[in-house]
Amino acid sequence: MIYADFNGSAPMHPSVREYLSKRVIDGPYANPNAIHSLGKKMGMGLEKARMSVAKNLGAKMNQIVFNSGSSEGITHVYHSVLNQTTKRTIITSGIEHSAVVQANKFYESKGFKIITVKTNPCGTICMDDFKSHFENNKSDIAMVSIMAANNETGVIQPHAEVGKLCSKNEVIFFSDTTQYIGKTDFDFCQSNMDFAVVSGHKIGAIIGSGVLLVKNPHSLIPLVFGGGQEFGKRGGTQNYIGAETLAVALEAFNEEKQRLNEINEMRLAFENKLKESFSNIVVIGDKANRLPTSTLMAYTGIHGQAVQIELESNDIFVTTSSACSDNEPETSKVLKAMGICDDIGRGVIRISFCTKVQQEHYDKIYNALFDIYSRLNKIKVS
Amino acid sequence: MIYADFNGSAPMHPSVREYLSKRVIDGPYANPNAIHSLGKKMGMGLEKARMSVAKNLGAKMNQIVFNSGSSEGITHVYHSVLNQTTKRTIITSGIEHSAVVQANKFYESKGFKIITVKTNPCGTICMDDFKSHFENNKSDIAMVSIMAANNETGVIQPHAEVGKLCSKNEVIFFSDTTQYIGKTDFDFCQSNMDFAVVSGHKIGAIIGSGVLLVKNPHSLIPLVFGGGQEFGKRGGTQNYIGAETLAVALEAFNEEKQRLNEINEMRLAFENKLKESFSNIVVIGDKANRLPTSTLMAYTGIHGQAVQIELESNDIFVTTSSACSDNEPETSKVLKAMGICDDIGRGVIRISFCTKVQQEHYDKIYNALFDIYSRLNKIKVS
């Protein structure tokens, strides 16, 4: 089996699997806030995990808030920032994940003005458009909310440039880093982000775990009420097992990230070989800097879902788009924002891996796709 | 080792441990919303878990919203109900968990009027006081928020009576059932509750999993934004592994709950034996109906923490109060609401089990306590 839907959900990393299976059997379990030594042991484990996660994300320990994942993190950021400001403008992009889109809609209904920055055809946000909106609304910007890397295209956004501008002008910058962290290099302190988010299940940790990174933790108000856990910033008994798996997964990524260049080359070679074989193949965002492990591509006029099903019969698992919009055989919002036509938009498949990807995976997918596109193209034209 | 802090956090149930350790090794993992067959398999597993959880909680499948635990569930209920009403009164009790207390405070700051019902010395809420507030504010009650069983005392609250009154008058009733579900019989459809909550780690499932039970799911608005997961009621890729462990844990409880009467008798005999041995021993809430597995007791004048430490040296793990307030050697808010004096309030230890408790556990704790109280009493009076 070749599992190539890591952007949708990453299977637990082998190190996490090994750690967790032993952890589950051996125990112990206790409330990390309990007074007894078992509780203190869990509490110490949690802080050890926090230290490791902080180190691997370039953050300070008190900037790490453990939670249930990115959707909660995103909601938390919006809740905390927008309930503590008199400013009323949010600058965002047209290629954000549904969680950000929904958050924007909710706060729009509460009276906030949402400005959506244009997207370039290559999949990055248009910096000229961003700068112009930024200048025109500077005194009223409650938050800039621009993702770091897109979940569908893998296109890396100019978050560093956005961050610098925000930082210089003391504007709060939240970046949805769900697809960025654990797939490429990241250093929170260097990022100029005020908030960033991690979903455990996107980086090989256990599903239901996550991190909210907060530059100024004192400014954060809780979304989830509770008994003072996470320094009063996130109620509920901490998911200490989840936090432990986050530490293991990020540590593993840190050890494997030396492969990123090699992986990037491998993926580019795979894409080029396909493009050379079929003139009708389009790799979305190939003019932009993308995540090393992510390919979104289409064969013009051949439906993505047909290809996905054919690949699956070869024991290769890809998606047509993001999990959230998979069931709609429409061109996705993200691709529409890029100005991509339906003939391509409906044809996309997404191939996404982790840092463990090997040449043989790409070879097998190439061979399968060569066969599938040759066959489907024949059906199409005949 | 005797672990007697199940109200703080339950170790994973042996069935869950067995299930999960195999699950972690074997996989598969995928996004339960993905289009491919692995995703669909996860999605079907999630719905199978939903069916099992619904069956064991006496709910319909569409009344089950999987989340990260009770603190999120509580926050969600408050958010959904109070953002959709023009009524401005919340009736609550003085013995609620911190998550409810914090939620009340937050909405008080947003202009809601919080009415706190008096507590009887036995640990139940005062129904006369409740009824009087209910009558006087009937047309303005946004929500009644009264817990089902107290986490410190184990005292079962008159939730059925509260539920009937609310239902008859079409007032929304939320009951924090965190300590109730999985410790005694529960049937959501029979409960007259509009909302109830479950924390996985309180019932032997994995930490970070949970359920929000919703009588009228169509009325619920999301707290956490996302991609339409959980019928649009809770964003974020579902914690499908957590949901699976919830199903296993509740199924196990359902099989074991025939022991509840026996366990209750066992606990009462243990408490009576202690009271007979030491005239200074007080069992908090012993005039009320309590959870079969929970004892909160004090030896007047002997500090609870001293007893807890002594018990721990006998490899017996108890707490002095709830995990949230363990670090404050003060009489807890709950005990203060019951009118309990500091001499007793500072002396409490909480012994809490699951349905697997055996006579030998109580025997060993009795023997240890007999020795400890005899010794500490000697030190105290000499």
DSSP letter string, A95-135:
T--HHHHHHHHHHHHTTPEEEEE-B-TTSSB-HHHHHHHHH
| A187-196, B208-217, B372-381: segment of lowest average pLDDT | B372-381
CB of B323 within 8 A of CB of B202? no
Which residue among B36, B209, B225 places its CB closest to the CB of A5? B36
- Decide if B26 touches A, using CB distance below 8 A: no
Give the separation between CA B379 and CA A204, rounded to whole angstroms. Answer: 55
- Chain B CB contacts of A350 under 8 Å are none
Summarised one tens digit per residue, pLDDT across range B229-247 is: 999 999 999 999 999 999 9
Indicate the DSSP class of residue A28: -
Between the alpha carbon of residue A89 and those of residues A75, A138, A303, B322, the distances in Å are: 17, 9, 39, 43
CB of A207 within 8 A of CB of B239? yes
Question: Does the pLDDT of residue B345 top 50, yes or no?
Answer: yes
- Chain B CB contacts of A99 under 8 Å are 224-227, 235-236
- Chain B CB contacts of A208 under 8 Å are 68, 206, 208-209, 239, 241-242
Asked if the Cβ–Cβ distance from A9 to B27 is below 8 Å, we say no
pLDDT at A377: 81
Which residue among B8, B34, B239 places its CB closest to the CB of A207? B239
Question: Does the pLDDT of residue B321 top 80, yes or no?
Answer: no
Q: C-alpha angle B41/B45/B48, rounded to 5°?
A: 135
Quick one: tokens of A21? 């299976």
Per-residue pLDDT, averaged over B317-342, amounts to 82
Beta bridge mates, A34: none
Indicate the DSSP class of residue B234: S
**Which chain B residue has the Cα nearest residue A103?**
B225
From the list A349, A336, A334, A367, the residue with the least C-alpha distance to A300 is A349
Whose tokens are 């108890």? That residue is B318
Q: For each of chain A's 382 residues, which pLDDT tens digit applies?
A: 999 999 999 999 999 999 999 999 999 999 999 999 999 999 999 999 999 999 999 999 999 999 999 999 999 999 999 999 999 999 999 999 999 999 999 999 999 999 999 999 999 999 999 999 999 999 999 999 999 999 999 999 999 999 999 999 999 999 999 999 999 999 999 999 999 999 999 999 999 999 999 999 999 999 999 988 999 999 999 999 999 999 999 999 999 999 999 999 999 999 999 999 999 999 999 999 999 999 999 999 899 999 999 999 999 999 997 555 555 678 999 999 999 999 999 999 999 999 999 999 999 999 999 999 999 887 664 4
- Decide if A5 touches B, using CB distance below 8 A: yes
CB count in 10 Å sphere of residue A140 = 13
- Chain A CB contacts of B29 under 8 Å are 9-12, 201, 207
Packed helices A98-109 and A70-82: angle between N→C axes, nearest 10 degrees: 30
- Decide if A306 touches B, using CB distance below 8 A: no
Beta bridge mates, B173: B144
- Chain B CB contacts of A248 under 8 Å are none
Asked if the Cβ–Cβ distance from A326 to B70 is below 8 Å, we say no
Asked if the Cβ–Cβ distance from B70 to A236 is below 8 Å, we say yes
- Chain B CB contacts of A31 under 8 Å are 5, 8-9, 201, 323
Categorize the per-residue pLDDT at B330 as very low, low, confident or very high, splitting at 50, 70 and 90.
Answer: confident
Give the separation between CA B319 and CA B321, rounded to whole angstroms. Answer: 6
Phi, psi at A335, each rounded to 5°: -70, -35
Summarised one tens digit per residue, pLDDT across range B142-189 is: 999 999 999 999 999 999 999 999 999 999 999 999 999 999 999 999
Quick one: tokens of B317? 């793990």
- Decide if A11 touches B, using CB distance below 8 A: yes
Beta bridge mates, A181: A184
Asked if the Cβ–Cβ distance from B11 to A33 is below 8 Å, we say no
Give the contacts of B379 (CB within 8 A, at least 6 positions apart).
none
- Chain B CB contacts of A17 under 8 Å are 24-25
Distance from CA of A95 to the nearest CA of B (A): 14
User: What's the half-sphere exposure (Cβ side, CA atoms, 13 Å) at A257?
Assistant: 17
pLDDT at B380: 60
**Comparing B2-9+257-381 with B14-255, is the CATH topology the same?**
no
- Using only C-alpha atoms, chain A has a radius of gyration, in whole angstroms, of 21
Give the separation between CA A75 and CA A98, rounded to whole angstroms. Answer: 11
Interface test with B, best of A68, A313, A352 (most B CBs within 10 A): A68
Give the separation between CA B165 and CA B121, rounded to whole angstroms. Answer: 23
Categorize the per-residue pLDDT at B378 as very low, low, confident or very high, splitting at 50, 70 and 90.
Answer: confident
Interface of A with B in 235-274 (CB under 8 A): 235-242
Asked if the Cβ–Cβ distance from B68 to A70 is below 8 Å, we say no
Q: Are strands B141-145 and B113-117 parallel, antiparallel or unpaired?
A: unpaired
pLDDT at B186: 98
- Decide if A333 touches B, using CB distance below 8 A: no
Give the separation between CA A207 and CA B241, rounded to whole angstroms. Answer: 7
Asked if the Cβ–Cβ distance from A223 to B226 is below 8 Å, we say no
CB of A235 within 8 A of CB of A224? yes
pLDDT at B382: 42
What's the CATH number for A2-9+257-381?
3.90.1150.10
Give the separation between CA B356 and CA B363, rounded to whole angstroms. Answer: 15
DSSP letter string, B33-62:
T-SSHHHHHHHHHHHHHHHHHHHHHT--GG
- Residue A196 DSSP SS3: strand
- Chain B CB contacts of A68 under 8 Å are 67-68, 72, 208, 224, 236, 239
CB count in 10 Å sphere of residue B105 = 12
Which residue among A11, A208, A240 places its CB closest to the CB of B29? A11
Give the separation between CA B314 and CA B104, rounded to whole angstroms. Answer: 40
What are the extents of the domains in chain A? 2-9+257-381
Distance between first and last Cα of chain B: 32
CB of A290 within 8 A of CB of A154? yes
pLDDT at A382: 42
Beta bridge mates, A64: A213
Query: Could you confirm whether domain B14-255 is CATH 3.40.50.10420?
Result: no
- Decide if A9 touches B, using CB distance below 8 A: yes
- Chain A CB contacts of B25 under 8 Å are 17, 21
- Chain B CB contacts of A325 under 8 Å are 227
Question: Does the pLDDT of residue B61 top 60, yes or no?
Answer: yes
Distance from CA of B66 to the nearest CA of A (A): 11
Q: Peptide bond preceding B217: is omega within 30 degrees of 0, i.e. cis?
A: no
Per-residue pLDDT, averaged over B32-45, amounts to 96
Asked if the Cβ–Cβ distance from A30 to B9 is below 8 Å, we say yes
- Decide if B228 touches A, using CB distance below 8 A: yes
CB count in 10 Å sphere of residue A51 = 14
User: What's the half-sphere exposure (Cβ side, CA atoms, 13 Å) at B276?
Assistant: 7
Distance from CA of A31 to the nearest CA of B (A): 5
- Chain A CB contacts of B69 under 8 Å are 236-237
- Decide if A106 touches B, using CB distance below 8 A: yes
Distance between first and last Cα of chain A: 32
- Decide if B5 touches A, using CB distance below 8 A: yes
Give the separation between CA B192 and CA B165, rounded to whole angstroms. Answer: 9
Asked if the Cβ–Cβ distance from B225 to A103 is below 8 Å, we say yes
- Decide if B97 touches A, using CB distance below 8 A: yes
For CA atoms A67, A71, A73, A75, give the dihedral sign.
Answer: negative
Between the alpha carbon of residue A45 and those of residues A49, A128, B10, the distances in Å are: 6, 47, 17
Give the separation between CA B32 and CA B142, rounded to whole angstroms. Answer: 36
